[in-house]
Structure 1
């Protein structure tokens, strides 16, 4: 594994998206997403963040040696589309978790699938991971379809993992292996 790829996060390119290291310059866009009710629901986020906490997080993630965080930008306009993260490094098993959050107004346009595919290409070819996993709430079928398009396979279901506004929902466990067939955007 090339864990130096986690401390020297490089720019990744797809046909429509550009993944750049997430940092303090993305504060305004990240902050806006943290105040979007639908984004918070889709990610199951209840935490109310302070500006100082978000700024500190964005300032420190670039030096982390166990994760890689990217801002997803529109290649043609430079607009911030969201963020994608590899985290929870298990070096012994060459495995990491991923998560993605698109900015309000951008889900459903294929940007997430492309960003995920570009990031997975990097995770397997450059970092040398064997497995990337995630979980998605059952009330988000659009994300489930996007992950499947990127090559993720459903592994199982955890029942009643999130209580949101009085209703329980399950989470779907998914992963993709370096040896699995996946689409390419190159």
Structure 2
């Protein structure tokens, strides 16, 4: 069983990951969710129900079997996205990871840092064996971020999403605890040199 009832605040150099403060954060998460690039890159439906979305974010901090954290830009002091660990697979003791960065947080390394922060937190504070994710082939920027964090390609789902009349592949990636430990060891080794 997994227990993410404690919602941490994780501070990096550029971002802070923290529990959602729905009233304060909602205008910013709404801007992210309605952004055409976010809709495209996440394969989301362009249909949007504001009341359902508010209800959803009001319940994020109460979830015990998943971790939903707001990504806050330390310079602007506003929410610029979210990092989520969800879909617990008890048999294989793994979970899914996803992240989204809205228009005010792009192209400054914030998503890269947020990804590394949450991956490190999960492997340091749980006994999960693996994190998995899916990224659409037309999102090479996200794929590169995931590779930096240690994710490797596991499989490809051909023609997984139809977007503007074209079929897009979904790239399935994974990061095992052992690979994460090896990456940490290499990082420590290079710091000693």
Name the TM-score, length of structure 1 as normaliser: 0.91
- 1:64-98 CA-partner distances (Å, limit 9, x unpaired): 12111011112244222211100001234221001
Corresponding residue of 1:62? 61
1:23–1:61 contact (8 Å) kept in structure 2: no
Report 1:1-186 matches (<5 A).
3-4=2-3, 6-24=4-22, 25-180=24-179, 181-182=182-183
The count of aligned residue pairs is 182
- 1:7-45 CA-partner distances (Å, limit 9, x unpaired): 111111112111001241321111111221111000000
- 1:112-146 CA-partner distances (Å, limit 9, x unpaired): 11111110111101022110000000001111111
Tell me the secondary structure at the aligned position of residue 183 of structure 2: coil
Kindly report structure 1 stretches of 4+ aligned residues shifted beyond 3 Å: 181-184
1:27–1:54 contact (8 Å) kept in structure 2: no
Point out where structure 1 has 5 or more consecutive residues left out of the alignment.
none
- Name the Cα RMSD after superposition: 1.6
Find the aligned partners of 2:103 and 2:155 in 1 and give their Cα distance: 29
- Between structure 1 and structure 2, the one with the greater Rg is 2
Point out where structure 2 has 5 or more consecutive residues left out of the alignment.
188-193
Deviation at 1:47, TM superposition (A): 4.6
Tell me the secondary structure at the aligned position of residue 117 of structure 1: helix
